[in-house]
Amino acid sequence: MALFDALLELADDHLVLGHRVSEWCGYAPMLEEDLAMPNMALDVIGTARSLYDYAGKVEGTGRDEDDLAYLRGEREYRNLLLVERPNEDFAHTMLRQLYFAAFMHPYWTAALTSQDETIQGIAGKAVKEMAYHIRHAGEWVVRLGDGTEESARRMADAVQSLSIYVGELFEEGAAEEVDVLPSRAAVRDEWLATVQRVFDEAGLTFEDSKFPQTGGRSGIHGEGLGHMLAEMQSVHRAHPGATW
């Protein structure tokens, strides 16, 4: 079951982040960004679907992607605390995206040589998407960090408030016993190099938090996740198995 649990952790990360980013749909400050954000949301939701689908097959009890996404409660979700953080403002949203993509890009790159063909396939598609998310979110972080007085203040606030969620990215979690998935801890150097490169240009400083928050991998979440899941799951729970 270690592989099932590890796939679920990854899938939950992608679905929760995808739903958060999708909350911007219709609210982005300009049309161009209103297309870019749902594009990014759909990228990670697409990856989540592949991972849930595979997890369901690995589990072998007949649960499909919808069962796994819509019929588990908050305590059963295994996502990182970082990805469930509320959107707040553009600075928080883009920094969260940069942190996640800067992690997933080297992670999926390592997974390209996995012995597991399904994981290889998922990684092959995701690696290009994550490279784009790093670029898109990174450009915004630079412009906000090195922009007006207000944008710089908001960006610095985002760095401050998200810093405690960074450490959890590199926790091995359920994947520790699974040799077809890459090590999370091994990704740290590359993550830091990507973030450092963006921060240098943005005039921001990255500092590791002395008091990192963890718990997402064991189902201990912030209060925002329950609200988010309630909304995300409401249609499926009201109309089980509905399609359109």
Q: Which of 32, 117, 207, 223 binds another protein (CB under 8 A)?
A: 32
Extract the tokens encoding 154.
């908001």
Min CB(152)–another protein separation in Å = 15
CA distance linking residue 33 with residue 201, whole number of Å: 22
Min CB(192)–another protein separation in Å = 24
Q: Which of 139, 157, 172, 201 binds another protein (CB under 8 A)?
A: 139
Residue among 30 and 242 whose Cβ is closer to another protein: 30
Extract the tokens encoding 101.
């993509």
Residue among 23 and 34 whose Cβ is closer to another protein: 34
Q: Does 242 bind another protein (CB under 8 A)?
A: no
Q: Which of 136, 154, 184, 217 binds another protein (CB under 8 A)?
A: 136
Q: Does 143 bind another protein (CB under 8 A)?
A: yes
**Cα–Cα–Cα angle for 109, 63, 122, rounded to 5 degrees:** 15
CA distance linking residue 104 with residue 60, whole number of Å: 27
Considering only the stretches 6-14, 79-87, 131-139, 165-173, report the one whose residues sit in contact with another protein under the rule CB under 8 A: 131-139
97 to 60, 130, 134, 165: CA distances (angstroms): 33, 10, 8, 13
Min CB(242)–another protein separation in Å = 27
8 A C-beta contact, residue 47 and residue 129? yes
51 to 6, 72, 110, 119, 137: CA distances (angstroms): 10, 15, 17, 8, 24
Binding residues for another protein, rule: CB under 8 A, are 29-33, 35-36, 39, 132, 135-136, 139, 143
